[in-house]
Chains A and B, each alone.
Chain A
Amino acid sequence: MKKYDAIIIGAGHNGLTNAAYLAKAGLDVLVVEKNEYIGGAAVTREMHDGWFYSSCSYVCSMMRQAIHRDLNLTKHGLVLVPYLGTVVFADNGDTMTSYHSEEAEYNQLRRRSPHDADAMFRFQADLGRYAQLIRKTLLRTPPDPTSFRPRDIRELLWLAKQFWSLGEKELYEYIRFFTMSAADFLDDYFEDDLIKAAMASPGVIGTALGVYSPGSAYVLLHHVMGDVDGNVGAWGLARGGMGAISNAIAGSVKEHGGEIRTHAGVDKILVKNGKATGVVLENGDELYANIVVSNMDAKRTFTQCMDKDDLPPGIYEKAKNFKIRGSSGKVNIALSGLPKFNNVADNRYINRGGQGFVGSMETLERAYDCWKHGRWSDDPFIESVIPSAWDPTVAPPGQHWMSNFIQYCPPQLADGPWTPEKRDAFGQTVVDKIERYSPGFKDLIVHMEVRTPHEIEAEVGLTEGNIFQGELTIDQLLFNRPFPGYAQYRMPIKNMYMCGSSTHPGGGVSSACGANAAREILIDLKRPNTVPEDDFYDE
């Protein structure tokens, strides 16, 4: 029976990245994937004739450039294109456009509030400062603060130095920012509610927090710290949909001799004498390897794919307590034409970009309240983008694909389990809301795919459909991710590792988790490290 050097469970972008780096280092790797296609949540699927949906994740900004270059992803077909312009909609129909030009953006903000237009400069600088610090940590393994190993101490000191270099005042500001709510943070800068709501909305995407919850300011940063070619905060679309990212990384895996097997769902991770030895597939096949790497989330890995008895005491409970809350839905819509929105100029640069149906700070928060009560809001926050306006490959010419991300959507409903009827009713709520801002929108709909946390979990395997593989709160960040003591990608079982977004630095299509895990594995195997430690940032 063949024995691989490493088996990676799950062909999401992090699993593939991990496999690519291990294969590149000369290891014989196998990636097993339960679906018949690869990509996990970074996937493009033809869900309707001629329409290719990025069914789950839909835009990209965190992809590490060092990895992109390192793994030759451009050669393997990946092109990331920044998209321009976003319009946000207020409850009362007001709109605000974000323009690509800083001067135009300034005039636009000034129309709403001269004060806020001015304050935006400072806001951007402050956010830039915070983002810069975090970005430097993305491709580094978090230190263990309880350890005395030289490497951990060195890394802790490195981290301390980064904080130190902020200067005393900014250090305090940083702590404030890290622990505040998005609402409180924004109140420091802005007075206009729509501007605040537009800025706050990224703070709740994918998370079971509201804009008034402490900690949401950090999530806001998590969404704006990405960049496209150094333009911090810019968002990019992958040409060909998000699947192009996974396909390119898969290309790199194959280039280095790695193997990818689809339709190969893992039933159990094999453990013998306290060591991971391989996996049992759902069809009963056993596959063996020196190393097993899980790209599944921590909860699924430990509570579903392992025997409690195989785990050291306490781990099962830690996994059970790991917070991975479904809070988002997704509605993918095929359109026969480009929708027109009220109070938005017929401008090719903006009406083809993104739409944020944010309403107001209170509307955002009330949508969260509904989630707490186990129902979806009648007036949810929707973040939409029409990638087909920029990418000719995802819909037939002249027709369009619109991606709608909905916050919030509960994983369990108070009135019983999700049913197809309830799912469709949820989708209808979304369409109804868009119709309010875009009369005639419904008539353009050719096909529609609705995903609640239930569908996302069923298809992608993300517990509760949580897009980050675990909440981004301080108790689950950096050396706490996924659990204290296990943040360095090594798991409590020997020869077993994790490389998914449940690990540092968390969710987002960044490839950082997979790359960092590969680095640790190579260290353990005493192989030369090929994984980059930063993303071309100059001090």
Chain B
Amino acid sequence: MMNSQTESSDPFAGERLKESPFHPRQAALNLRNAWSSWNGYKFADYYYDEEYEYFCVRNSCATYDICPMQKYIISGVDAEAMLDRMVTRDITKLKENRVTYVCWCTDEGRLIDDGTIFKLGTDKFLLTCGSPSLAWLRKSAFGFNQMKIEDASDTIAGLSFQGPTTCEVLKRMGLEGIDQLKPFCIAHFSFAGSEDKPLMVSRTGFTGDLGYELWINPSLALSFWDALYAAGEDYGIQPYGEAATNMARLEAGFIMPGMEFNEALKTIHYHYDQTPFELSLDWLVDFKKPHFNGRTALMSARDTGSEYTLIKLDIEGNKPAEESFLYADEGCIKEIGYVTSAMWSPVVKANIALAMVKTEAIKDSIWAEIYYTKELRHHSKVAKCKVQSKPFWAPDRARATPPAAF
């Protein structure tokens, strides 16, 4: 995206962050000027109040700018084979207009990143992920000659639209049949009188709730925003930022790079990165496939077992166990792990956390040593933790087709 200033007129242009196609509208709503950054884009931490935005996701509907997300179009006869070898899941089973969640590993079976693959046509896929991955994609594509990789990060605008009223709002926008779109499916719609269906909708998201991701050409971004917000006006539409996303994804039990895992290609220390098994992503690794990257290493990792495993914890009390150490005993003598993400869940009314725990210690009791402050006084407490096997928040409406109106 071009900055509003050009290099010649602004000597600091090179230092400034890029602005998303939705920026003018989002900037107007960012009352606190709470900007941080993501992949070189200016990006909202929150717009008005993170808890309010979080409740919009859980209670009405809200939009999250996913333009800075990395998008790659992989097309050609070899595209499927190339992706299938790269990721741990079987892509050959993916049907057209379907989306699947995938992860990919180094030769050593360490997690590089996770993302989603959209099958747009027989030989055409869209890969979206959180971090720049072009170098790895190129490496992965070496030897596959009949395909190409297009970095569409700046040429596809994306808006994640999440919350219980989203389907209703999209219906009001005139997206016919949207209520029939099943989870992980894709549909295409015309927009602004255009016949070639420039609007792509996938029933996907990062909140664990009913929601859609909306994809459109950047040139249509602002008019699309206006149409969506007009339709959502009576349904509590609101932009939400990084802070609310982080709350919603934690309730849904989704992992984040830099929190739950360290991207293997950026890891300095030996084995400070993780295998999918350590992250409880076993279900993503399909050993029925004869070959995929890291298979041999993952095979032996599976057989040896992981030293640590990522688990979900329900912790007594209401003090978030952020950065807490975990122990096997109330006396905090035997250290068995640490919390990666933690919060008080407003909808579930539970003190929840994701944690890396020594695999052998999971079945026994787990205690968290929690530090908190009260009016600048620092306190600590030891709280009992319960291992939770299901996501903390997984409402039926997230899977219902057609979804209920509210």
A: which residues have CB within 8 A of B?
Answer: 97, 99, 101, 103-104, 106-108, 110, 114-119, 121-122, 124-125, 128-129, 132, 165-167, 169-170, 189, 345-350
Contacts and interface: CB of A to CB of B under 8 A. Distances in A.
Given A103-B40, A107-B40, A114 B15 contact: no
Contact of A118 (B17, B37, B107, B134): B134
A122 B265 contact: yes
Contacts of A114: 132, 134, 151, 153
Interface in B104-144: 107-108, 131-136, 138
Contact of B132 (A101, A117, A132): A117
Residue from A97, A108, A125 whose CB has the most chain B CB atoms within 10 Å: A125
Contacts of A107: 14, 17-18, 40
A118 B135 contact: yes
B271 A347 contact: no
Contacts of A129: 268-269
A124 B17 CA distance: 21
B12 interface: yes
Given A110-B40, A118-B135, A345-B11, A104 B108 contact: no
Nearest to A121: B266
State the majority secondary structure of interface residues on A.
helix
Contacts of B7: 345
Given A99-B14, A117-B132, A106 B266 contact: no
15 contacts: A99-B15, A103-B17, A103-B37, A103-B39, A117-B132, A118-B135, A118-B136, A122-B266, A125-B265, A125-B266, A125-B268, A169-B108, A345-B12, A345-B14, A347-B15
Contacts, number: 76
A104 B14 contact: yes
Contacts of B283: none
B268 A165 contact: no
B280 interface: no
B14 A108 contact: yes
Category for how many chain B residues contact A: 20 to 34
Nearest to B7: A345
Nearest 9 pairs of A and B residues by beta carbon: A118-B132, A119-B135, A345-B11, A167-B270, A347-B11, A107-B40, A118-B135, A346-B11, A122-B265
Given A115-B135, A345-B7, A128 B14 contact: no
A230 to B, nearest CB: 13
B16 interface: yes
A108 B18 CA distance: 11
B273 to A, nearest CB: 10
A88 to B, nearest CB: 13
B12 A122 contact: no
B13 interface: yes
B190 interface: no
A345 B11 CA distance: 5
B267 interface: yes
Most chain A beta-carbon contacts within 10 A, residue among B10, B16, B40: B40
Interface string B1-33: 000000100111111111000000000000000
Nearest to B263: A121
A128 B268 contact: yes
Nearest to B270: A167
A320 B289 CA distance: 63
Given A97-B14, A108-B14, A115-B134, 10 more contacts: A104-B16, A106-B40, A115-B138, A121-B131, A124-B266, A189-B135, A345-B7, A345-B11, A347-B12, A348-B11
Contact of B17 (A104, A110, A125, A169): A104
A110 to B, nearest CB: 7
A349 B15 contact: yes
Nearest to A232: B268
Nearest to B36: A103
Interface string B140-155: 0000000000010100
B133 A118 contact: yes
